[in-house]
Amino acid sequence: MKKLALDLNDVTKTFQKDDGYITAVDKVSLQVEEGEMVTFLGPSGCGKTTTLRMVAGFELPTSGSITIRGSDMTNTPVNKRKIGFVFQNYALFPHMSVYNNVAYGLKARGEKDKDIRDKVRDALVMVGLVDTENRYPSQLSGGEQQRVALARVIVMEPNLLLMDEPLSNLDAKLRIHMRTEIRRLQKKLGITCLYVTHDQSEALSMADRIVVMNKGKVEQVGTAFEIYSNPQSLFVADFIGQANIIHLKVTSLAEDVIGVQTHNGGVFSARCIIPDHIDSSVESYEVGKDAALVIRPESLTVIPYKGGEETFNAVVSSSVFVGSHVEYELTLPNNEMIKAFIPYTNNMQIFKEEEQVSFMIDPVNALFLPRKKNKP
Ligand SMILES: Nc1ncnc2c1ncn2[C@@H]1O[C@H](COP(=O)(O)OP(=O)(O)O)[C@@H](O)[C@H]1O
Ligand SMILES: [Mg+2]
């Protein structure tokens, strides 16, 4: 059987903070295949950096285990793990040339001069910095410095490449350029990479799989498509892309289908997600209580007011034409606000503010998500 590049098993990290404790990482389990690119996405403070630092060995887990290529490394020191780490601040040696920065680890490892020369050249070609060998970090742009940091790490041929918000210090345009380059390089080298970011487009565009974290826990792991089209929790639906959440009264419950009362007395049914990994924290739905219906703004159809039972009703509170589509904000009878993005077509009808409208939801694109306990 093929060995996993990384196997995290119930990894937990508790820090002492003020008078108490804080669980920065809470039973994180994850299996990463060789050559996979996995991004960690979540709000600030959700435990991304701490997870990466434990994989690298800068922190030891409070409990749980870390296996790298089949060997238990939970308590192995950093320098025995063969891991490359690229940080947000490039951490280059300012008094050393680019060549010496990249060669540093190889020299420390006692490799032959000729091998070092070849490897450094190859690495610099790889990151597109052939002619900069003799320059110093201060003579390079931010993007170039980050490439040197990357070359310095890949030259060591690590088992795992860990990157913690490596592009945060670069301007928006360069960030987008660099993300494509890093991804291309990662694929070319076939290197396994864990990449932390709080930027969702970065996380979605670079990854084979994305780990969405919240408050130390893994909320969901999946491809960009899976996470966008099948969010397993309200947190993920809300955090990734834009999502409308409408609360409606449950009228019927089947195994994984919920029926709700629309504002006109009609009935609407859609799939209900039952996540397997957070059961105990989930409140089950009951007939007569509210359920949270999740729908993307681009999955609504806005039509002239109908008032029949097949539609939902709303009042337009804002209507903005942005070229490719019209962005509506609609106020529902219970004062909930939702967004609708309607793609531009010739002769499309554009509704105005304060107009009464109806809207339709395609059940295929709608989901009922479980509600966490102890939350309003
Ligand atoms: N060395 C530490 N001592 C105490 N608390 C820490 C330490 N490192 C991180 N934390 C806390 O752990 C939580 C997770 O932090 P971190 O992993 O840096 O989150 P992220 O990288 O997702 O922003 C935060 O609440 C942070 O304040
Ligand atoms: Mg961080």
Select from 234, 267, 290 the last residue of a domain: 234
If one counts the domains in the chain, the total is 2
Residues 118 and 213 grouped into a single domain:
yes
283, 191: one domain? no
Q: CA angle, corner 109, sides to 103 and 115, nearest 5?
A: 55
CA of 45 to the centre of ligand 2 (A): 7
If asked whether residues 249 and 173 sit together in one domain, one would say no
Side chain identity, residue 93: F
Answer yes or no: is the C-beta of 26 below 6 A from any ligand 1 atom: no
Q: Is 190 found in the same domain as 129?
A: yes
Look at residue 229 in the predicted model and tell me its pLDDT. Answer: 86
Residues 83 and 182 in one domain: yes
Choosing from 234, 254, 270, the residue where a domain stops is 234
pLDDT at 227 over 50: yes
The whole-number pLDDT of residue 376 equals 40
Distance 221 CA to ligand 1 centre (A): 21
The reply to whether 288 and 355 lie within a common domain is yes
| One domain for residues 227 and 249 | no
- Is 273 inside a domain boundary? yes
The verdict on the CB of residue 214 being under 6 Å from ligand 1 is no
From atom 2 of ligand 1, which residue's Cα is the shortest distance away?
Answer: 15
46 lines ligand 1 (CB under 6 A): yes
How far lies 297's CA from each of 99, 302, 339, in Å?
51, 11, 5
Binding site membership of 18 for ligand 1 (Cβ less than 6 Å): no
**Position in ligand 1 atom list of the atom nearest CA 17:** 4
CA of 50 to the centre of ligand 1 (A): 6
Burial 221-243, CB ≥16 within 10 A → b, else e: bbebeebbeebbbbbbbebbbeb
Predicted confidence band at 375 (pLDDT cuts at 50, 70, 90)? very low
Q: What would the pLDDT profile of 76-123 be if each residue is shown by its tens digit?
A: 999 899 999 998 887 899 999 999 999 999 999 999 999 999 999 999
Distance (Å, whole) CA 202 – CA 195: 10
Q: Evaluate if residue 255 carries a pLDDT over 90.
A: no
With a 6 Å cutoff on the Cβ, whether 44 touches ligand 1 is yes
90 and 165 together in one domain: yes
pLDDT tens digit sequence for 261-305: 887 788 888 888 765 554 455 667 788 888 889 999 999 999 999
Is 255 within a domain?
yes
φ/ψ (deg, to 5) at 112: -70, 145
Is the residue at 31 inside a domain? yes
Task: Summarize pLDDT for 131-171 with one digit per residue, the tens.
Answer: 899 999 999 998 899 999 999 999 999 999 999 999 988 88
Q: Can you give the CATH number for the domain in which 278 is found?
A: 2.40.50.140
CATH of the domain at 60: 3.40.50.300
Do 206 and 326 lie in one domain? The reply is no
Clarify whether residues 247 and 290 are in a common domain. Answer: yes
Q: What pLDDT does residue 371 have?
A: 65
Is residue 1 one of the residues assigned to a domain?
no
Please state which of the ranges 132-146, 181-195, 207-221, 244-258 shows the lowest mean pLDDT: 244-258
pLDDT digits (tens, 9 = 90+) for 345-371: 999 999 999 999 999 998 888 888 876
Q: Is residue 130 classed as helix, strand or coil in its secondary structure?
A: helix
Local confidence band at 55 (pLDDT 50, 70, 90 cut-offs): very high
Among 211, 234, 257, residue at a domain's last position: 234
Residue-wise DSSP of 144-197: HHHHHHHHHHHTT--SEEEEESTTTTS-HHHHHHHHHHHHHHHHHHT-EEEEEE
197 lines ligand 1 (CB under 6 A): no
Identify whether residues 157 and 174 lie together within a single domain: yes
Q: Domain containing 324: what range?
A: 242-372
The pLDDT mean for the chain works out to 90
Does residue 166 sit in the same domain as residue 312? no
Three-class SS of residue 345? coil
Report phi then psi at 235, rounded to 5. Answer: -60, -50
